[in-house]
Structure 1
């Protein structure tokens, strides 16, 4: 079976700026991305049906036969997977007025558009569905999703053996081949702990589950990880982390607090950078919402920050409660910047200006080269499209 995870523009925008650079199903929550979850549950390949400017990097591919079409912001569980698998061609699974899944023939997707389901037989699903509608849903659901992914990834398998210099409290621990740790404490009584292939936990780190560390990522010496934390692949973290998700290929390598937050890909936090996740008056936190071009009350008392891909900030940056930082932004001096920093902007607490795209590309060339990656034309075209789409938010 092949799965196609689809986006729709009207609900993608609620997940900006995180979804500006990727299909919604490529967002990470738990150990895996949403797309990887469906592939693991169904033992299937997958691709994306998304907006045109993203499709080159995330191709639909050559399709044939029956296809399971799945809403890209829905996380699978046992009952939802069973309901989706039970669909026959020409049937669609609905959760109220929300389309969850449908069994379609490949020819209906030939033009890269969501097919009309007029005439499809509706099947109604009456159980709860975990849907990622807003950025804060990612960190709110993260602990539960780590647990589900952990069970799926480790079932019937044995963990790699780590050094006896470590201390283990609880038995919900799993390390993939090549994972290493020395003189660290792992407490899995509150949630599982998963170390990806080739990952490292350095001396003196204190880790409480639920926690997931991606492939070839590192936890630096003396790091404190409280719970509900996911670090994607090829990342490095230090300091304090609590209830947060880092997509991957990002660096928060120094002291400083990150909590109730989501960071994208390719971000770099300067030393001693911190974010607040609780207001002084204990009132609910507002986040900038692209769909409203203004602030939305999250109803949450604890809500830190949302940082999109390719963001850099200087040492000692202090991010206020409920800060949203757009794609490619650069915060280059100390102080407390505004709670909305538009995509491709450059500046400090004293003010921001537009980041010229050619200058941004020059920086990206250096960043990719340092990581032994190639900043290719596909990536440039995608980011140029994001630059144009977000021009209206840069009111400098």
Structure 2
């Protein structure tokens, strides 16, 4: 039975990150939500039912996977926001899949999974699937599962998630890369070092508090300290003397300074001194030298975050929360971000003082004010940045960014 990952009507709450990617492509540990679901369900075929607007970039991201294609016969639908783990609920879903009998798995009014013996064409073409589409299907209520519903959920229990993923991916204790003389690996049986990866002289990689998974061709620079749980994706770079703990760095991301309890999706850079804590960066972000994020209020109070649906700030229940930055956004040297700042897609921030705690997409400026960031200029910058990673801005990406600017940019109101 094919596995069909779908999006529901709550993915907008995860903007700006979900403005440019399907929700199941969010990295919430060492792995994305998609990777976790595939690992548990081991489907014979995978189909991605994303929003129509994202079909092109999703197909580009997953060239060997069907996107929004119709399927015949029994299908397992799984909510793309579900952080799937092995256990009673996943076992129940798999049992229903084996029998092929219609069954809806619901948690707190949200459709978690749906086994449908013969889904109609209208269901297979929807941008969003919810509990309403399971009307008339026998329902099984479940509890205790993680649904990523708010931006702060991206980094909740991040260390534990990274540790879980590292164990699931396997290879701990395998050192196929290079450990230079003078580098120190503490508890090497909990460290994975893939082929082509290197730990430079003087670096310390500690796995006594959690595993460290270092991907192919990644690099830990001289005198850097990496303290697990940590995931370094393929070609990720931890610069000399940097400190990284409880964080996940996606493909070809680069960090310097201090990074704590944060996720960099991929192809982003925080290459210099400065602090990034309890934060999430999308793709193609760049933080200038000595950029610092506050992750704790001066009064130690609860952090609020921008609610894109309410158009106002909302409480998070968290004491620690730093920066959320959408794809293709940049900031200049010495930028300071206040606690709980949300920066949209393709912003360019600079100047003294703290930028606003909510910066709409395609904004240019800083504490002294914001003006619309002209799309033609933003695209020129994106093309230059992507060329440095041997990529180019595709027509699908360009069209999606243009739509994002029109619908969610500063000029859109």
Q: Report the TM-score range of the alignment, normalised by the length of the smaller protein.
A: over 0.9
1:378 aligns with 2:369: no
Task: List aligned pairs for 1:40-189, cutoff 5 A.
Answer: 40-44=39-43, 45-58=45-58, 59-61=67-69, 63-79=71-87, 80-87=89-96, 88-104=100-116, 105=118, 108=121, 109-113=123-127, 114=129, 116-126=133-143, 128-154=144-170, 158-160=174-176, 162-163=178-179, 165-170=182-187, 171-183=189-201, 184-189=203-208
1:211 aligns with 2:230: yes
**Consecutive unaligned residues in structure 2, runs of 5 or more:** 59-66
1:274-301 Cα distance to aligned partner (Å, 9 max, x none)? 1111111111111111011010111211
Alignment partners' CA distance in 2, 1:143 and 1:43: 25
Instruction: Give the Å deviation of 1:369.
Output: 2.4
2:47–2:69 contact (8 Å) kept in structure 1: yes
The 3-state SS of whatever aligns with 1:147 is: helix
Q: Give the total of aligned pairs.
A: 392
1:186–1:208 contact (8 Å) kept in structure 2: yes
2:286–2:329 contact (8 Å) kept in structure 1: yes
User: What is the TM-score normalised by the length of structure 2?
Assistant: 0.90
Match of 2:64 in 1: none
Match of 2:61 in 1: none
Match of 1:228 in 2: 246
1:16-45 Cα distance to aligned partner (Å, 9 max, x none)? 111111111110011111001111222335
1:191-249 Cα distance to aligned partner (Å, 9 max, x none)? 11110111111111111111000111111100111x32000001111100111101010
Alignment partners' CA distance in 1, 2:230 and 2:206: 10
**Consecutive unaligned residues in structure 1, runs of 5 or more:** none
Alignment partners' CA distance in 2, 1:356 and 1:132: 33
Task: List aligned pairs for 1:227-306, cutoff 5 A.
Answer: 227-306=245-324
Against the structure 1 CA distance between its residues 310 and 90, is the aligned structure 2 distance closer, same or farther, given a 3 Å change threshold? same
Instruction: Give the Å deviation of 1:156.
Output: 8.7
Instruction: Give the Å deviation of 1:81.
Output: 2.4
Alignment partners' CA distance in 2, 1:149 and 1:143: 10
The 3-state SS of whatever aligns with 1:274 is: strand
User: What is the TM-score normalised by the length of structure 1?
Assistant: 0.93
Against the structure 1 CA distance between its residues 218 and 161, is the aligned structure 2 distance closer, same or farther, given a 3 Å change threshold? closer
Which stretch of the first structure deviates more once superposed, 116-125 or 229-238? 116-125
Which stretch of the first structure deviates more once superposed, 130-139 or 89-98? 89-98
Alignment partners' CA distance in 2, 1:280 and 1:120: 51
